[in-house]
Amino acid sequence: MQKEVNSLNENPNLLGMFTSPGMQFERIKQSPKIWVPLIVISFLYVIGMAFMALSLDADTLIEQGVPKDQIDLVLTITKVTVMVTGIITPIFGVLISSAIQLAIARIASSTVSFKQLFSMNTYIMIIGAAGLILNMAISFAIGGNPEIYITSLAGLLNQEKAGVLGSIEVFGIWSVVLTALGLNKTAQFSKGLAWTIAIIFFLISIGFGLIGTLLQGAPKL
């Protein structure tokens, strides 16, 4: 019993999200951490985005309609933009998710704090970071399309465009499961509410994938 109490008093561990997420969520509830894990996650995203930037080539931009005489400039700007995105994506992603979840928590009369939710979502992003690095490293190594995750249905079915199938992806589903578990453990949401919120977030991501597919298929003016 004492050993279990001491374990809960320890700081949450990012690597523990792969092996014992339930324990990490309990620790986050007791002692939410933000800055160090957020810096680590941002660094990992930068690594993943670096692989993505290296995977971009002129042919990809030409297919998207970029004039050949502007390829070098556009390619450079695109690579820099991708790298910067790696820094801000985790911050804004965690911020928006936490704000929405806090609003729901207040409606559900949960006493969870914004700091706890922010910490929880930051730790969950280690899964997405791992997926990003793995997929972009593979894409870079084999010369694949960086827009399509190898671990997604689009990658499995060898699709040319990510679309909706690109949103149905192993690490994404893993994150959904952890989000539901985290909302139950850290925010003390009921399992039903926790899973509902996690699934809605997932469906929204699929919706964005569908919108992207429709926009890509729209006739150019």
Q: Which DSSP state fits 109?
A: T
pTM of this structure: 0.89
Tokens of 37: 């894990």
> 175 near 169, Cβ under 8 Å?
no
Q: Which helix (H) or strand (E) holds 68?
A: none
Q: Which DSSP state fits 49?
A: H
What is the tens place of the pLDDT at every residue in 91-148?
Answer: 999 999 999 999 999 999 999 999 999 999 999 999 999 999 999 999 999 988 888 8
Number of domains in the chain: 1
* Number of helices followed by number of strands (H, E) in the chain: 11, 0
Domain range for residue 140? 2-217
- How far are the Cα atoms of 100, 113, 125, 164 from residue 191, in angstroms, in the given order? 18, 19, 21, 27
pLDDT score of 214: 63
pLDDT score of 5: 53
> 175 near 127, Cβ under 8 Å?
yes
Beta bridge partners of 169: 152
Instruction: pLDDT tens for the chain, 221 residues: list them.
Output: 545 555 667 899 999 999 999 999 999 999 999 999 999 999 999 999 999 888 887 776 677 677 777 788 878 888 888 888 878 888 999 999 999 999 999 999 999 999 999 999 999 999 999 999 999 999 999 988 888 899 999 999 888 777 788 889 999 999 999 999 999 999 999 999 999 999 999 998 888 767 766 655 544 43
pLDDT score of 81: 86
Report d(CA 219, CA 156) in Å as an integer: 28
Report d(CA 55, CA 141) in Å as an integer: 9
